[in-house]
Structure 1
Amino acid sequence: MATALTDRITRLVEPVATALGYELVRVAMMGGPYGGSVLQIMAERPDGTMLVEDCEKLSREISVILDVEDPISGEYTLEVSSPGVDRPLTRKKDFAAYAGHLAKFELSEAVDGRRRFKGMLLGMQDDMVQIDVEGEKVEVDLGNVHKAKLVLTDELLKKAGAQATG
């Protein structure tokens, strides 16, 4: 979920990522495993790939901006990564591109009395995310999606393998 801090960081690092040929997928602040904070930045190339070398390059450039602007009080760890196979769905284009795959959703406001859904992502219609939940079509406003993430399945692994080789 975006906060004033993550919005500010996004505004700082997105132009750098774009200039290097990457798209931001998610910017998040999280608690670290041993205390402290972790700034997680997920990015990818427009074709959906992201190599370790890409993460290193982006991390170096982002570090410079963050050191100069200093938006985070206290110590933190910068983590730059690809979204991975079972990726978070954060952008409208993600919900369209991954139609036909199983996903989990957490909503800000309940729909049909529920805030959590697991179902087949059917895609987008205007700003409505369409999900098949146990044979029933559920529509959720994109603005109501707090978190969404693909579920690791054989079909998803096949798609990821096809993207990596093709």
Structure 2
Amino acid sequence: MNLHELIEKTVVGLGYELVDLEMSPRARVLRVFIDKPEKERGVDIDDCVAVSNQLSRVLTVENVDYDRLEVSSPGLDRPLKKPADYERFAGSEVHLKLRIPFNGRRNFNGVLQGLQDGKVRLVLDSGEAELDLGNIERARLVPKFD
């Protein structure tokens, strides 16, 4: 089992979603971003502590060599990583960056309409766009402040 699978299995086993995992060169620093969709206000410090404690134990048992483990929420500008994220956050404003330009553009800001047949649907100021999921380099929610 690779490190990503090990961490995901542990996080999911605790009732959380693994949003992202970042590893510094040679995996010296592990950054784990978790979420709990059913929790209205998102994860808090107690959630991060619980996951961090369990991951520390699992990584020790599995002899994973690392210097520092950081567990946190994905933040207000949460990245969209999995196809399910594009459905879950339909209706939200997003910023997307493409690998290969579409109509001469690589960056898009719009309201996410979901995912259909491998295409991410967006409502833009200039109309609508359907972008290939496989061409998306990076996607993040745009924070809203009331």
Q: TM-score range by the shorter chain?
A: 0.7 to 0.9
Q: What is the match of residue 119 of structure 1?
A: 110
Q: What is the match of residue 129 of structure 1?
A: 120
User: Relative to 1, partners in 2 of residues 1:93 and 1:53: Cα closer, same or farther, differing over 3 Å?
Assistant: same
Q: What is the match of residue 24 of structure 1?
A: 18
Task: Calculate the TM-score normalised by the size of structure 1.
Answer: 0.74
Query: Is the partner of 2:2 in helix, strand or coil?
Result: helix
- Equivalent pair of 1:21/1:46 in contact (CA under 8 Å): no
Aligned with residue 53 of structure 1, among 46, 65, 77: 46
1:124: how far off? 1.2
Q: What is the match of residue 64 of structure 1?
A: 57
The yes-or-no answer on 1:107 pairing with 2:101 is no
Deviations 1:69-117 (A, max 9, x none): 3555xx5432111122221111222211222222111122222222221
Q: What is the match of residue 152 of structure 1?
A: 143
> Percent identity of the aligned residues?
36
Distance in 2, matches of 1:38 and 1:76, equals 6
1:14: how far off? 1.2
Q: Root-mean-square deviation (CA), in Å? A: 2.4
1:145: how far off? 1.6
User: Relative to 1, partners in 2 of residues 1:70 and 1:130: Cα closer, same or farther, differing over 3 Å?
Assistant: farther
Q: What is the match of residue 160 of structure 1?
A: none
The letter of the residue matching 1:143 is G
Task: Calculate the TM-score normalised by the size of structure 2.
Answer: 0.82
Distance in 1, matches of 2:29 and 2:101, equals 30
Aligned with residue 12 of structure 1, among 6, 14, 17: 6
1:135: how far off? 2.7
Aligned with residue 138 of structure 1, among 116, 129, 137: 129
Mean CA deviation greater in 19-28 or 85-94? 85-94
Distance in 2, matches of 1:131 and 1:14, equals 29
The letter of the residue matching 2:83 is K
Q: How many positions carry a matched residue from both structures? A: 143
The letter of the residue matching 2:55 is I
Structure number with higher helix proportion: 1
Structure 2: gaps spanning 5 or more residues: none
Structure 1: gaps spanning 5 or more residues: 1-6, 158-166
